[in-house]
Amino acid sequence: MTSIEEVIRTRRTHKSFRPEPVPAEVVRELVDVARWAPNHHRTNPWRFRVLGPTALARLKEASGADAPKLDRAPTLIVVSAMLTGDLIQDEEDVCATAAAVYALLLAAHARGLAGYWRTPKVLRARAGRDAVGIPTGERVLGLVHLGRPRGAPAAPERADVETVLEFLA
């Protein structure tokens, strides 16, 4: 079994995928892992919407010139956080949902899948949100592209640990 540290260090953002979709049962497994992300007050704010052909066509129509970018991966999942209107709880829930997206990406990588997390402009607009059924009161955190990878992206540059770590007295 691969260690979690190895999975974290070797996961990459992929933008080129093979055409076969991720099976529904594998998507269910990935979301099952993602729902174990830390979540203050256990509100379970995350929502995962897997786009089928009709929903994808609506999103492409709403996105106009950016539509070709939606064809990069065979499986697309819109991830959103349900909001309560309480600023502190909403901040916690957005952060928890981001952690859930990362957990999903790590679980996908551990299964040999590739992922790409982005938030296209269309999902920040009402037309795009309507195209995929995002109601008022939810914040879209991104569109997760999933599939079998083509190629292997190089490791990105990372700042030295000394640059990002400070021990306070």
For 34, the 3-state DSSP assignment is helix
- Residue 68, pLDDT score: 87
Residue 169 within any structural domain of the chain: no
Split at pLDDT 50, 70, 90, the class of 40 is: confident
CB 115 within 8 A of CB 105: yes
Averaged pLDDT, 154-167: 92
CA 3 to chain CA centroid, Å, is 22
Task: Report yes or no on 79 lying in a domain.
Answer: yes
Nearest alpha-carbon partner for 28 in 107, 85, 95? 107
**pLDDT-based confidence at residue 66 (cuts at 50, 70, 90):** confident
Domain that holds residue 91: 4-164
pTM: 0.93
Question: Taking the mean position of all CA atoms in its chain, how far away is CA 155?
Answer: 20
In a domain, 48, yes or no: yes
- Tell me how far apart the alpha carbons of residues 132 and 85 are, in angstroms, rounded to a whole number: 22
Query: Is the residue at 110 inside a domain?
Result: yes
**Count of domains forming the chain:** 1
Q: What digits encode the pLDDT tens for the residues 72-82?
A: 999 999 999 99
pLDDT above 70 for 1? no
pLDDT at 67: 86
- Alpha carbon distance 147, 73 (integer Å): 6
Q: What is the CATH number of the domain that holds 91?
A: 3.40.109.10
**Better-scored residue on pLDDT, 127 or 154:** 127
pLDDT in tens, 104-128: 999 999 999 999 999 999 999 999 9
